[in-house]
Amino acid sequence: MTITITAFERSPDGGKGLARDMRVRWALEEVGQPYQVRLVSFRAMKEPAHRSLHPFGQIPTYEEGDLVLFETGAIVFHLAERHAGLLPDDANARARAITWMFAAINTVEPPILELVTAKLIEGDKPWRAERLPLVEGRIRDRLNQLSDRLGNADWLDGAFSAGDLMMVSVLLRLRPSGILDGHPSLAAYVARGEARPAYQRAFAAQLAVCTGKPPTG
Ligand SMILES: N[C@@H](CCC(=O)N[C@@H](CS)C(=O)NCC(=O)O)C(=O)O
């Protein structure tokens, strides 16, 4: 059955792979499922046709036959459940990998999104200078806790899983801020994620939307 996802017609990051369709593309590549992409403009995202797929008028969405999904956590989980490659077979290891998926989007991503809000959306507000160090402090606390847990391991719990895919994707959003550089083990963890062939294919595909040139290699 054909899988179709949506992505920005014009990504605000210009192809740096920070838009959330990237997580879904990466998951699809990890599990070896072909997919199509429907590009949507900011205006179209808020219109009824797209909002019938995504109640909040955002990307990405996921269509597979009669099934329509939104929320990257749910989409990646769906792919990981249906196809081999992103969740371990052992029931307890599987539950732990799913826990890391939730940790990524529920515990690590929120302070990172606060930074984006403080800088980009509320960047002209008078409280910016006071707020930024507080938000950055909360991110550093989380990163210290995460890097304590990761230790010298390659991945968060044994083999690479959907938990790592979500965590690396979330941490990547910090790259423009430079905060990740202060946490070398996490920077190396993110680099391991980016080095995966499936990530590379997904990155090239989303970049091609911005450059207008087909992916090479
Ligand atoms: N929690 C959602 C967030 C989706 C989201 O914020 N998408 C962004 C792109 S990365 C978007 O569509 N932004 C445009 C908007 O909200 O108007 C998910 O993980 O799928």
pLDDT in tens, 138-161: 999 999 999 999 999 999 999 999
Q: What number of CA atoms fall less than 13 Å from residue 188's CA on the CB side?
A: 11
- The first and second tokens of residue 118, run together, are 């403080």
Q: Whose CA is nearest to atom 1 of ligand 1?
A: 71
Tell me the mean pLDDT in the region 21-50: 98
- Name the 3-class secondary structure at 114: helix
Q: Whose CA is nearest to atom 20 of ligand 1?
A: 71
Q: Whose CA is nearest to atom 18 of ligand 1?
A: 71
Q: Judge if the beta carbon of residue 19 lies within 6 A of ligand 1.
A: yes
Question: Tens of pLDDT along 100-144?
Answer: 999 999 999 999 999 999 988 888 999 889 999 999 999 999 999
How does the average pLDDT of the chain come out, rounded? 96
Q: Judge if the beta carbon of residue 20 lies within 6 A of ligand 1.
A: yes
Distance from C-alpha of 66 to C-alpha of 36, rounded to nearest angstrom:
16
2 CB contacts (<8 Å, ≥6 apart)? 35, 36, 64
Tell me the mean pLDDT in the region 176-195: 96
44 C-alpha to center of ligand 1: Å?
A: 14
CB-based contacts of 181-189 (< 8 A; 24+ apart in sequence): 182/140, 182/143, 183/140, 183/143, 183/144, 183/147, 185/147, 185/150, 185/151, 185/152, 186/143, 186/146, 186/147, 186/150, 189/150, 189/154, 189/155
- CA dist 58 to 35, 61, 86, 158, Å? 19, 8, 25, 33
Phi, psi of 131 (to 5 degrees): -75, -40
Q: Whose CA is nearest to atom 12 of ligand 1?
A: 58
- The first and second tokens of residue 160, run together, are 């690479």
According to the model, what pLDDT value does residue 2 have? 97
According to the model, what pLDDT value does residue 217 have? 57
According to the model, what pLDDT value does residue 213 have? 86
Q: What percent of the chain has pLDDT over 70?
A: 100
Q: Is a pLDDT exceeding 90 seen at residue 216?
A: no
166 C-alpha to center of ligand 1: Å?
A: 15
Q: Which segments of 33-175 does DSSP mark as H helices, in order? A: 42-45, 48-51, 72-82, 91-103, 109-116, 128-150, 162-172
According to the model, what pLDDT value does residue 170 have? 98
According to the model, what pLDDT value does residue 51 have? 98
Tell me the mean pLDDT in the region 168-188: 96
